[in-house]
Structure 1
Amino acid sequence: MVFGLTTGEFVIAGILPSVSADLSVSVASAGLLTTAYALGMIIGGPVVTVLTARVARKRLIV
Structure 2
Amino acid sequence: MFANDKNIDNLQQLLAELKKYAELQKDYVKLHLVEKLTILISTLILVFILLILGIIALFY
> One fold, TM greater than 0.5?
no
TM-score (norm 1): 0.38
Q: Which has the larger radius of gyration?
A: 2
TM-score (norm 2): 0.39
If asked which structure has higher relative contact order (CA below 8 Å, sep 6+), I would say 1
